[in-house]
Every structure is written in structure tokens, then in C-alpha cells.
Structure 1
Amino acid sequence: MNPLRIFAATAIAVSLYVAPPFVTGPAEADTISDAALKVRPIDDVFTNGPPRIEDLTSLDGILRFVSSVPLACSMVYGETAAFGQVTVDQDMNGGAHTDHHPAITGLKPDTTYFYRVQGTAVDGTLYVSKVQTFHTPKRDANAALNLASLDAGARVTAVSSNFGGGANDASWGANSAIDGSRATEWSTNGDGDKGFIEIEFAKSSDVGAIEVWTRSMSNNTAQIFEFTVTADSGQTAGPFKLPDAAKPHRFEVDLQAKRLRLDVVASNGGNVGLVEFAAYPR
């Protein structure tokens, strides 16, 4: 038989073959009845009172509550009951836990916000709060200048490490310690008591106070308990003790500095770091 004729016949057969459409569809058990959805009021899992908005400023705040069962927690919020924004627990470990503190960011001064708190347990139960409101304060025109902020021209000049070997401006990078946002954190790459960060101000200044907010993780690591600060003038202040990781803590100092270096003295190890660092003029 002529091989060209065989080839032509095969080509025609191939060209005429049309593959059946690839159809995707739901699994057979695709219907979830309302009875199967386990939705409970979040009141069922309070241990120290209902979720509360704390440390509220004109631009941000924190939602805090402790649940009796581990939850993956989120909060939806916005200027109407249609919400439009969502925040979740800031935790490297992810998953469900009991100590919740999502950062609420992107707020406007002197504005009413609607919000709802939601948490999903590992058994699929969804715990939901009622829709509530909070109101942000007016912008403080007399707020003290934070010498150590990116907005004031400060920059990170040295750091023990950034999580995952990232740059200072990456997620978990050192810039997160001076960006003015409680929704971001600087994390070291497991430096523990050897962690440090050095910040240079826009100009040499007399520093009268610092504020330090340590990060922490739900596995009881990453929290700084004690630290020192050293100026490029050679002066050292501290050691200072941080009582908790719930908020920034203020310490009075008397330093002349263009650069300040914070050194960890004691921690519970791991990816130590800071939510925020601030320095205020005398």
C-alpha cells in the first residue's frame, strides 16, 4: 500500500476527532444543608469578656480577646454594615489559637466603623459576633515627633537578620519596626538573644524617651523580655524589662544620638523582633 495514502488517511482521522469537553462539577455530596452548618454566637467561647477594640488611634487599633477553644480569627469592618475590609490574626504559625489580636489598619480620623468578629474552630464550627460599631478619635495635631520613623527620615543601618534572609523592606524586614504600623513586624531569622537592630535618625538629636513593642508568637517564642539601647556617642541605657507583648512600653532615657542600637539581652528565643520602635526628643 502507498505509505503516503496511509499517512493522509491518518491525518484526516486525527483532524476529524474532537475530544469531548472537559467538564468539572461538584462532588456527588455537594449540598450542605443549613442544619449541617454549625454557626454559634461568639459569646459561647469568651474567657475574659467579649472582643474589644483597644489602643485605638485616629488611624489604627487592635482587636483583642481570648477564646476557650482554638480559633482562626478574623474581623470584617468598614464605614457601613457592608464592611469592605478584613483583618486576621498576625501570627507566623497561622492556624487556630486562643489569644487573638488582629491589627485594625487603614482607619480615618473621627469616623464611625461597623465591625463583626468571626472565628472558625478546627471542627468547622463558625463563631460569629453581632455587628457593632466603634468611633475613631480626631487626629492629634500635637503628637510628638517620632525620630525613629521612616516618615521622619530614619532608616535601618544594621540588623542581626531578617526572617528568611529577606531585605529590610520585605515582609518581616527591619523596616517594619519603624514604619508606624502595628500590622507589620520585624522578625529575625531565629536570632533569639543575639538579635539587634540599629536605626539612624535624620539628624543627631537629644533623645528623652523610647518606646519598644516586642513581637511574640503563639508557640511561646519570639518575645523580648530585656534589652539595652546604645547610642553612637557611646552611651548605653538599660537593661530595660518588657512586661508583655500586648503593647508598646515607654522608657525614659538621656541620650545624644544620630544612631541608636537595640540589643536583645533576654528572650524566649526564636524569631525575636519588634512590632514598633520609637524614639522621642527631650
Structure 2
Amino acid sequence: MSRKTAPLFISIALIAAIALIAAPGSRLMAQDGTPESDDAIALHPISEIVDGDLNITDFANDGTARLPLTTSVPVACTLVYGTTPAFGSLTLDQDMAGGSHSDHNPLLSGLEPETTYYFRVQGVDNAGNIYVSDVMTFTTPPQDDTPTTNLASPGLGAQITGYSSAYGDAAPDETWGAASAFDDSPNTAWSSDGDGNDAWIEVELAQRSHVTRLAFWSRIMNDGTSQVFEFTVTADGKETYGPYTLPDADAGHAFEVDFEATTLRFDLIDTSGGNTGAVEIGVYGDPVE
């Protein structure tokens, strides 16, 4: 997590500690073990503010997964998880704005394939009310050994040769770093540091290739900023193709193309501003012999 979210991490860690010592519906206890006064804050079941099941989804080969959920009142959300009911790991919502809100997307990391994990979801609203779920479990799927066909993947020898910025000055392999745009994971994203329409990223393929398809998945913030509407691609610093229009940020969108190149620069030319970037960028075709 970047420097800008550190204060939120501290406050949520305190929430997690509180939630570990009491069950939903109970009241907090004084240090001598007696119940607090009647105006003490109660722990509420999270079902009071969440409609439906809590399902871990989007398992990826990089050991990440997500828990998308919507709460009926704004809360600061966190999730504790581990291979035993003692948990051991804590993750925060991925919204850079921090604070309380209603659309949540905590990211789990370090997951092993074919392993059962215990988890609990926790949150606090602006009035200090604490909401806690039951302890639940999920099992990760087997590792997907299907080789990538994305020519821009580091796994196929591609290298990032430049980018406008990264949120919190993140290194390429850190959270929000540039490498997240090419890691074949829907749970990570490259984010610029407020570049808006001036964000760009450049990748050098392992060898000159005949490119027949491009794919781009825009990131987006809960407040609607950071969404990419149009981008262009410049091949080898010479000819620019596009603009290509992205109808939404719900998934990646593919575009048929026909050119040869070694280096590709993606420029985000029409966006909703803010920390624009990409969840995933794909380059497909065949190396030129």
C-alpha cells in the first residue's frame, strides 16, 4: 500500500483488533471485564448493511483475489483472512480516496492454489458503528498453467521502457506500478499519479512482431474518475493508430489492427481525469521471423 493510504491502514487495523475480541451483537467490554455503559457501541452483523452473499472472486495466478461488495451505508472496509481461524493477514479496500464509502473491493494477496482459507469482513461507519460478518471459508482453484499469448507480457520477454508516472511513485512491480498493466491479473492495475489525459505507457516487445489485436482494460475509481474513454497506440515512435474507444471499464476491450512494431506507446487521450491507467493491456499477433 502506498504512502497516501497509510493513515487509513492504521485506523482499519484498530477496527480489526476490536472485531477479533467480540461477536456480532455483543457490546464492548471495559478493561476489568465488565460491560461498558448502555451507550457503548454495539457490534452489528454485516448482513444489516450487505444484501446477499460475500463471495471471493477473480482468482488469479499471481495469488490474488477480490471481494467486491456494496454496503447500504458508507463504511471503511477491511477483510482478515488466513489458513486457520486465527487469520494472520489483513487487507484494505482498494479505493485510493480512503475513508468510508459504499462500493468496496478489498484485494487478497499471497494466496496458494488449492488451499482453504478462513476470512471475515469488517467495517465501521461514520458514527462509529462496527459491522462484522461470520467467519467463512473459500478454497482457491488450481494454478492455471495455460501459457500467455500477450506479447507485452514480461513472461514473453517484453520490457516496460517508460511511463508518465505511477501513483505514490510506485516502482513497476509495486502496487499501482506500471508492470501491473501487463501481469495477466484482473486484480492489479497501473495507476498514474493524477496524469488524466496525459498518462502514457510504453512497452518493448521481445522481438519485432506483426500485431493483429490490441486489448485495453481501463481502471476506474468509485467516484467515476480515472476512466479511459479513448487511447492511441504509436508504433516504434512513428505512426500512431486510433483513437480506440472504450465503452466502459467493466472489462477489457479488443481492437483488430494490422501493423508491425517492436515498441508500442499507449497514450490515454480522453479520460474522466485523475489517476488514469490500466488494469490490463494486451498485444497479440506473431513475431516476425
Common topology (TM > 0.5): yes
Determine the structure 1 residue equivalent to 2:57.
54
Residue 109 of structure 1 is aligned with which of 101, 113, 116? 113
Moved more, 86-95 or 138-147: 138-147
Moved more, 209-218 or 78-87: 209-218
Shift of 1:30: 7.4
**Mapping for residues 184-263 of structure 1, pairs under 5 Å:** 184-232=188-236, 234=239, 236-244=241-249, 246-263=250-267
Q: Letter of the aligned partner of 2:163 in structure 1?
A: V
Q: Letter of the aligned partner of 1:212 in structure 2?
A: F
Residue 282 of structure 2 corresponds to residue 278 of structure 1: yes
Residue 141 of structure 1 is aligned with which of 140, 145, 149? 145
TM-score, normalising length: structure 2: 0.75
State the distance in 2 between where 1:191 and 1:267 align.
10
Q: Identity of counterpart residues, as a percentage?
A: 44
Residue 43 of structure 2 corresponds to residue 42 of structure 1: no
Residue 125 of structure 2 corresponds to residue 121 of structure 1: yes
TM-score, normalising length: structure 1: 0.76
Residue 129 of structure 2 corresponds to residue 131 of structure 1: no
Q: Letter of the aligned partner of 2:239 in structure 1?
A: G
Alpha-carbon RMSD across the aligned residues, in angstroms, is 2.8
The 3 A distance-change label for structure 1 pair 219 and 208 is: same
The answer as to whether partners of 1:103 and 1:182 remain within 8 angstroms in 2 is: no
State the distance in 2 between where 1:75 and 1:86 align.
6
Residue 164 of structure 2 corresponds to residue 160 of structure 1: yes
The answer as to whether partners of 2:58 and 2:186 remain within 8 angstroms in 1 is: no
Q: What stretches of structure 1 of length at least 5 have no aligned partner? A: 1-28
Q: Letter of the aligned partner of 1:243 in structure 2?
A: D
Which has more radius of gyration? 1
Aligned length in residues: 252
The answer as to whether partners of 2:246 and 2:253 remain within 8 angstroms in 1 is: no
The answer as to whether partners of 2:123 and 2:132 remain within 8 angstroms in 1 is: yes
Shift of 1:120: 1.3
CA deviations over 1:170-229 (Å, ceiling 9, x no partner): 654423323455554322232222222111122223344444332222332111122233
Shift of 1:137: 1.5
Q: What stretches of structure 2 of length at least 5 have no aligned partner? A: 1-29
State the distance in 1 between where 2:269 and 2:251 align.
19
Q: Letter of the aligned partner of 2:59 in structure 1?
A: L
